Structure 1
Amino acid sequence: MYVFQPASDRLFVLLAAGNLATTQAVVSWIRRDLDRAAEDSASGTGDLRSCDYLFEAAAYIGRVSVAVQEENGEALQQAGASAGASFLLGGQIAGEPHGLYLVYPQGNAIMATRETPYLQIGETKYGKPPLDNVGHTNLSLEDAARLCLISEVLTQRSNLTVGPPFELAILPADALAIAHRLTFAADAPELAAMVETWSDAQREALHRLPSFPWEQSSPT
């Protein structure tokens, strides 16, 4: 998780998944462009400081990612590896709505909507059911954060390539500031309590499912 606030009127949070070298290079590129823009305000084009809309910021990150991949992609491909990386960009620019974008390895991006209120990167399939079954746009920020966190924890239980630390940031609309930011280590008691509570609820739900027809008939 990377936080960028190049000016008081904008705040961006970036999550990365995929080739580690690519994601680190993209973040370094973003920081370099911000440093250059701060040194010479007249040249502040094509960076997070100069974007007027969040979709422009997503497009900028997409261009940077593609450029990094093109620089190293051929050599990695010959070695049987991929330079691909994907990103989640959330945040807000003053005067514009807050939003969340998924930036694909190809550089294009999609936006979260009321119909699809969440986006995922990395290992997605194991943690998707809780988000689909429980998530909706009327959840409080706290409940949404808990749901996202349990989604990650459940993914960890099903896939050993996913693990702590789990990072969480809450950005209220129009605040242009992070209200809360937490990091949960592997031995965090909150994670153990969440898993126990979720498992108990699932076991209770199992016993409340409709019976099969043969279970409802009386023995003779």
Structure 2
Amino acid sequence: MTYCVGMRLDAGLVFLSDSRTNAGVDQVGTFRKMSVFENPGDRLMVLMTAGNLSISQSIRELLSDFKDSNGNSIWNAPNMYEAARILGETVRTVHQRDAKALADFGIDFNVSLMFGGQIGEERCRLFQIYAAGNFIEAHNENTYFQIGEAKYGKPILDRVINPSTSLDDAAKCALISMDSTLRSNVSVGLPLDLLVYENNRLAVTRFVTIDEKNHYFQMIRSSWGQQLKAVFEGIDAPIWDADNTVNTNSPAGHATNSTVLSHASSRNTPVMVAHPRNQDNKTSSGEIQSFAEQNGSGKQH
């Protein structure tokens, strides 16, 4: 499996990917999921992949030389939308070639991709491409995409990332998101590839491969856990069955104590399942003791 996250911000783009493809008991596979297509001064495009490794590698290799029916490629596409469309056609080409053969062996055509960058003077753009070759684009309302094991790293992104987030803060947030995923899922693993792209550079200027020896990521892993624990311990435990002290200035009559979870005068009840009246499930302690004696559990040896 894998985890990749990409962000489209006012200041540029942030891409982060892991490199684990298999996490069996005695076999751990590592393949890098990020590929860069660069023509300095003209265009910078980044592709990240998740899903079946053979499919994603075929797409990546074909994409570099692929031309559509009009002879267009990602290298001469006038904008990122057209480049994403050409990538979608590349995905469908691989599907037409390999999907039936894979299906004959019970293997689904399983791949998802993230593709972003900048061409010429156009603004930075970010797309998520699906196995059918269709895609969606990131906008201010959804300024980041995830592929792979997305659920563990999503909460921190939702709370922190917005279009005005700085590139450095976004990179920090992406690494925290990755750390949360690494901690909870063994199918995601080091090393990581992190690329931070600043608007209008049209070339790679900030890229790093992060392994277990990277000092900054070590600091993230230790301090984030400590800070989370400190915040957790700083939140009061809930109060059950409190009295009816209320804030009369509150239109809703809320309790003055923000730690009150329930009131003594307004107890709730769960959904109760009725006990079947014609069923006797009572077991006396004598019956339990007799059973134990029959099985020799009380014998001395």
Shorter-chain TM-score bucket reads: 0.7 to 0.9
Matched, 1:23 2:49: no
Matched, 1:116 2:142: yes
Identity of aligned residues (%): 33
Residue aligning to 1:70: 96
The alignment partner of 1:213 has SS state of coil
Offset, 1:187 = 3.7
Given the two structures, how large is their TM-score scaled by the length of structure 2? 0.65
Detail structure 1 runs of 4+ shifted over 2 Å in the superposition: 31-34, 43-46, 186-192, 207-211, 213-217
Matched, 1:105 2:138: no
After TM superposition, the structure 1 stretch with the greater mean CA deviation from structure 2, 105-114 or 202-211, is 202-211
Find the aligned partners of 1:70 and 1:206 in 2 and give their Cα distance: 52
Which structure has greater helix proportion? Answer: 1
Of 137, 144, 167, 1:141 maps to 167
Of 129, 143, 146, 2:155 maps to 129
Find the aligned partners of 1:112 and 1:128 in 2 and give their Cα distance: 16
Instruction: Kindly report the root-mean-square deviation, in angstroms, between the aligned alpha carbons of the 2 structures.
Output: 2.2
* CA deviation profile, 1:195-216 (whole Å, cap 9, x unmatched): 1111111112112335422497
- Structure possessing the higher radius of gyration over alpha carbons: 2
* CA deviation profile, 1:38-81 (whole Å, cap 9, x unmatched): xxxxx983211221111111111111012112211122223222
Offset, 1:107 = 0.7
Find the aligned partners of 1:141 and 1:127 in 2 and give their Cα distance: 18
Residue aligning to 1:171: 197
Contact 1:44 1:50 in 2 (8 A): no
Residue aligning to 1:51: 77
Find the aligned partners of 2:105 and 2:182 in 1 and give their Cα distance: 29
Residue aligning to 2:209: 183
Residue aligning to 1:205: 231
Find the aligned partners of 1:207 and 1:144 in 2 and give their Cα distance: 27
* CA deviation profile, 1:85-133 (whole Å, cap 9, x unmatched): 1111111011211111111111111111111111011111111111112
Residue aligning to 1:154: 180
After TM superposition, the structure 1 stretch with the greater mean CA deviation from structure 2, 200-209 or 159-168, is 200-209
Count of equivalent residues: 210
Find the aligned partners of 2:105 and 2:217 in 1 and give their Cα distance: 38
